[in-house]
Amino acid sequence: MERVSGLLGAVARRLQRWIIPGFIVLFVLFAALSLVRDEWRIPFTDIERGQQDTPLGLTLGLDLQGGVHLVYETVDPNPTPEQLQGVVQIIRTRVDQFGVAEPLIQTLGANRIVVQLPGVQDVQAAKDLIGAPAVLDFRELIPIPIEPGEETATETGVVSDDSTIAESTPDAEPTPEPEATPAPAEETPSNAAESTAAPSDGTTSGPKLANVSQSIPAQTTPEPTPELIAAETPTAEPTTEAEATPEPAATADPTEAVVETPTPEPEAQFRLEWQIATAVVDGEEVELTGDRLEPGSAQVGFNPTTGAPEVYFQMDSQGREAFRLVSRRMVGDLLGIFLDDEAILTPRIQSEIPTSPRITGLDLEQAQILAIQLNAGAFPIPLEKEPILERDVDAFLGADALERGLRAGMVGILLVALFMVLYYRMNGGVAAVALIIYAILVLGVFKSIPVVLTLSGLAAFVLSFGLAVDANVLIFERMKEELRAGRSMGSAIDIGFNRAWPAIRDGNFTTLIIAAILFWFGERLGASLVQGFALTLAIGVVLSMFSALVITRRLLRLVTNFEPLRKTRFYIPS
């Protein structure tokens, strides 16, 4: 029994001797492999990391890669934390679908949100993607009686605020364009409407809905011309051929004419307003809004005939049935499609639409942004339309800053390694090798997490080299004291590391506490540069302790196993 225990103890000691070196080798190997290729897959996972066109595939921040920095404010000055986090999540979903690598999206104070998009140079496209609430609804024109004294624009036929003015009898309703034989434009209102709606320069109009005819060009506020209003909502007295051909005047007595032909009463005036279309489905009134969209159903496709981009989306069962009923009821009328209370298109329905609609007439970028916004959903609370702070960083300035930072870091590392070799001799050489391994480990961790490397983060990375060297200096000084006291090389290494550990521990833990405080302040104040510095410094400190206490110790053990390298003069400075 004792013999078995002894064998097991020997095996355990041998395993312990090789487990730690084997772990170190694998760790360094994985880190080195991650830096060889710009893009790589983390072993035993499906996670891919790295970027093209950046040094070593590292993820760069705004100040090194260029990009957009935006700060938005909510309309409500006192939103709840849940509402603010809901807005952050929707923005993150939009940005992720847009394809931005490693964006920074976080709250700032009580009602502000910071958005940083590295690599994005089009500020306006970023604002269009983020700032829009993406509230979609379908509306119809409803005649509203004009109150006495209410200001109208009947003289021009144009009003603002999504409303139009037209004279009509109470029972007058918009009718579809009559299928009449061609006639001169001046004889029929429908031709006048068509000539007004069609661009004179031959260009196509704005977006439209499939299965419907061309309509008013999409504008922020639809402003139909007087002729178009006449075509959509004809007055109670349409022009006829009988009116166009005057008849001979009657020879009756004027008094009798007054009795037989009473003076007509003035016609009532109505204001046409866009209101959300509704239909009764299963005894419930259903509004055609974006709430009826199936989550994630919006996607960009292409028309098989024209190749033009289209936005497809699906509604839930009640939404599809309500849309079918509304389209059947509104055949010949205008249907307004509104996004964030702005009309993006106002088509005329030609026939009943039994399925979910699709939006056409957009260019590819507009279609992609609209699909992303519909999939991400609307904000739980609205944001101000324009950001309160807007800043973009030129990519050329970022590349120059990165080049200068890397050059400064390399020069600093080489000078430190040269000092260590000249002063501590063999120990210094071991420390230099350990620093190279440390650099590979740090960069590999940065790429694998990934860490967004900013200019301040690059400075923290170089600073962490100083901390790693400081730990080595403490160890080597303790070793030097033990060697001068006449101890053996193995004993001096063990005692030197044990005596240096309390000082290394206290110094590095203090630095980690400071890094945590900096990170917290950076998060509260929306200072991403401070956050980048703190995070990079913390990672560097942890790995510097690992490098000094594990890697350097194993390398010293390996070197001192060779008899020619065990001479004391190689480890004690003169």
| CATH number of the domain within which 76 lies | 3.30.70.3400
* In the predicted structure, residue 214 carries a pLDDT above the cut 70: no
Print the domain residue range for 422: 394-570
For residues 123 and 68, the answer to whether their CB atoms sit within 8 Å is yes
Residue that wins the pLDDT comparison between 265 and 512: 512
- Structural domain includes residue 194: yes
* In the predicted structure, residue 462 carries a pLDDT above the cut 80: yes
Mean predicted confidence (pLDDT) in 453-477: 87
* In the predicted structure, residue 541 carries a pLDDT above the cut 90: yes
- Structural domain includes residue 31: no
Rg, the chain, Cα only: 38
- Structural domain includes residue 58: no
What pLDDT is attached to residue 554? 87
Residue that wins the pLDDT comparison between 55 and 203: 55
Q: Are residues 105 and 140 in the same domain?
A: no
Q: Which residue spans within 42-111 are E strands per DSSP?
A: 48-49, 67-73, 104-108
For residues 159 and 226, the answer to whether their CB atoms sit within 8 Å is no
- Structural domain includes residue 41: no
Task: State whether residue 540 is helix, strand or coil.
Answer: helix
Residue 23 to residues 20, 40, 45, 67, 443, Cα–Cα distance (Å): 5, 21, 19, 39, 18
Q: Are residues 451 and 346 in the same domain?
A: no
In the chain, how many domains are there?
Answer: 3
Q: Are residues 190 and 273 in the same domain?
A: yes
The CATH number for 403's domain is: 1.20.1640.10
Where does the pLDDT of residue 501 fall: very low under 50, low under 70, confident under 90, or very high at 90 and above? very high
Task: State whether residue 114 is helix, strand or coil.
Answer: strand
The rounded percent of the chain whose pLDDT value lies above 70 is 74
What pLDDT is attached to residue 145? 85
* In the predicted structure, residue 504 carries a pLDDT above the cut 90: yes
For residues 217 and 203, the answer to whether their CB atoms sit within 8 Å is no
DSSP letter at 262 equals P
Q: Are residues 438 and 311 in the same domain?
A: no
Q: Are residues 215 and 342 in the same domain?
A: yes
pLDDT, tens digit, 9 for 90 and up, residues 408-429:
878 888 888 888 888 888 888 8
pLDDT, tens digit, 9 for 90 and up, residues 385-406:
889 988 887 766 667 777 787 7
Choosing from 346, 376, 406, the residue where a domain stops is 376
* Rounded-to-integer distance, Cα 513 and Cα 431, Å: 26
* In the predicted structure, residue 259 carries a pLDDT above the cut 50: no
Choosing from 367, 392, 417, the residue where a domain stops is 392
Q: Are residues 143 and 114 in the same domain?
A: no
- Structural domain includes residue 42: no
Q: Are residues 124 and 174 in the same domain?
A: no
* Range of 2-11, 239-248, 268-277 with top mean pLDDT: 268-277
* Rounded-to-integer distance, Cα 524 and Cα 109, Å: 7
8: enclosing H helix or E strand: helix 2-36
Residue that wins the pLDDT comparison between 372 and 205: 372
Choosing from 361, 392, 423, the residue where a domain stops is 392
Q: Are residues 204 and 93 in the same domain?
A: no
Least confident range from 246-250, 310-314, 379-383, 410-414: namely 246-250
* In the predicted structure, residue 531 carries a pLDDT above the cut 70: yes
The overall average pLDDT reported for the chain is 75
Cα angle 527, 531, 532 (rounded to 5 degrees) comes to 115
Q: Are residues 150 and 124 in the same domain?
A: no
- Structural domain includes residue 222: yes
Q: Are residues 312 and 441 in the same domain?
A: no
What pLDDT is attached to residue 500? 92
Q: Are residues 125 and 140 in the same domain?
A: no
* Rounded-to-integer distance, Cα 548 and Cα 300, Å: 54
- Structural domain includes residue 443: yes
* In the predicted structure, residue 294 carries a pLDDT above the cut 90: no
Q: Are residues 205 and 291 in the same domain?
A: yes
What pLDDT is attached to residue 4? 66
Where does the pLDDT of residue 212 fall: very low under 50, low under 70, confident under 90, or very high at 90 and above? very low
pLDDT, tens digit, 9 for 90 and up, residues 15-63:
666 777 777 788 888 888 888 777 777 777 777 777 767 778 888 877 7
pLDDT, tens digit, 9 for 90 and up, residues 317-340:
888 899 899 999 999 898 888 877
DSSP letter at 298 equals -
* In the predicted structure, residue 207 carries a pLDDT above the cut 70: no
- Structural domain includes residue 371: yes
